[in-house]
């Protein structure tokens, strides 16, 4: 009925999702107007709009940071996390817009403000990156055909490695030829040692598959029929490992963007608070 599906395609086809996007955009627009209009009015009446936009920024950033706090108290019946995520994304986009409104340009001057802006941009960009990753990566993981918990990947890899080595040894024992075992040590053992081609999986390319095909094709001609059976089993193991590696890459990506996003938030908040103090000491 639907044919080949991709994550992006699913998102676009889902009408509910469109409604949610529309509501989100409206909320952002309304909130922006709620800040921009008083600020514009303040500017037109001999006031300083940066006070309004500045405190709005601080409020928005504290609200965004509160997301992490909410996740730490899941036992209380606060609003469901998925709406907090929605609010967080809307708030993040709003923060960018209000930031540009606040500094009236794209990049500020002044050493301190540039540090603050750099951290803020880093946070925003990592957040946008995370949003993209969270939308695109899960279906890629599902499409590997298996599911594995991230913390159990070392177990799986160790198991596959053991099985592969056992196969190689057994092949030698049963067929009395060491060809496969030697080749395994030379070429394939490295593959089973740890997740490989991680960067390639993140990019979405097929390097591992090609590499394996090459490796297996190379040795096939030197094996007799019995050994070929073992080779087939080895190929099955390698394919399973390939799926596990894809999961490792994808899930690592899904976790590691937060290693940039969350620490930056702490620094941004600290610097922003200090900025507020400085402004009150020096500005009119």
Closest to other proteins by CB, 47 or 204: 47
Closest to other proteins by CB, 67 or 211: 67
Buried/exposed code over 70-99 (b: 16+ C-beta within 10 A; e: otherwise): eeeeeeeeeeeeeebebbbbbbbbbbbbbb
Closest to other proteins by CB, 25 or 277: 277
Give the integer Cα–Cα distance in Å for 98 and 104: 10
Give the integer Cα–Cα distance in Å for 236 and 164: 10
CB of 142 to other proteins, least distance (A): 4
CB of 267 to other proteins, least distance (A): 5
Closest to other proteins by CB, 66 or 178: 66
CB of 278 to other proteins, least distance (A): 6
CB of 163 to other proteins, least distance (A): 10
Closest to other proteins by CB, 78 or 232: 78
Closest to other proteins by CB, 57 or 157: 157
Give the integer Cα–Cα distance in Å for 99 and 128: 16
- Are 264 and 118 spatial neighbours (Cβ–Cβ below 8 Å)? no
């Amino acid at each position: 009925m639907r044919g080949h599906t991709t994550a992006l395609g699913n998102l676009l086809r889902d009408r509910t999702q469109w409604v949610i996007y529309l509501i989100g955009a409206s909320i952002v627009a309304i909130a922006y107007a709620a800040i921009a209009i008083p600020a514009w009015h303040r500017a037109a009446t001999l006031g300083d709009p940066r006070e309004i936009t500045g405190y709005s920024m601080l409020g928005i950033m504290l609200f965004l940071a509160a997301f992490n706090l909410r996740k730490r108290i899941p036992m209380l019946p606060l609003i469901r996390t998925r709406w907090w995520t929605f609010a967080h994304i809307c708030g993040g986009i709003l923060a960018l817009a209000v930031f540009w409104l606040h500094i009236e340009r794209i990049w500020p001057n002044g050493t301190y403000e540039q540090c603050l802006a750099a951290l803020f941009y880093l946070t925003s960009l990592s957040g946008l990156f995370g949003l993209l990753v969270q939308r695109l990566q899960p279906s890629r993981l599902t499409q590997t055909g298996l599911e594995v918990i991230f913390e159990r990947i070392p177990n799986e890899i160790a198991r596959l490695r053991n099985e592969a080595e056992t196969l190689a040894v057994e092949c030698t024992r049963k067929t009395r030829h060491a060809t496969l075992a030697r080749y395994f040590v030379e070429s394939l053992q490295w593959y089973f040692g740890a997740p490989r081609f991680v960067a390639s999986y993140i990019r979405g390319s097929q390097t591992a598959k090609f590499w394996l095909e090459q490796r297996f094709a190379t040795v096939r001609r030197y094996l007799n029929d019995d050994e070929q059976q073992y080779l087939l089993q080895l190929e099955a193991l390698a394919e399973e490992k390939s799926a596990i590696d894809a999961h490792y890459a994808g899930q690592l990506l899904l976790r590691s963007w937060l290693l940039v996003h969350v620490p930056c938030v702490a620094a941004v908040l600290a610097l922003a608070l200090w900025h507020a103090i400085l402004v009150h000491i020096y500005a009119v």
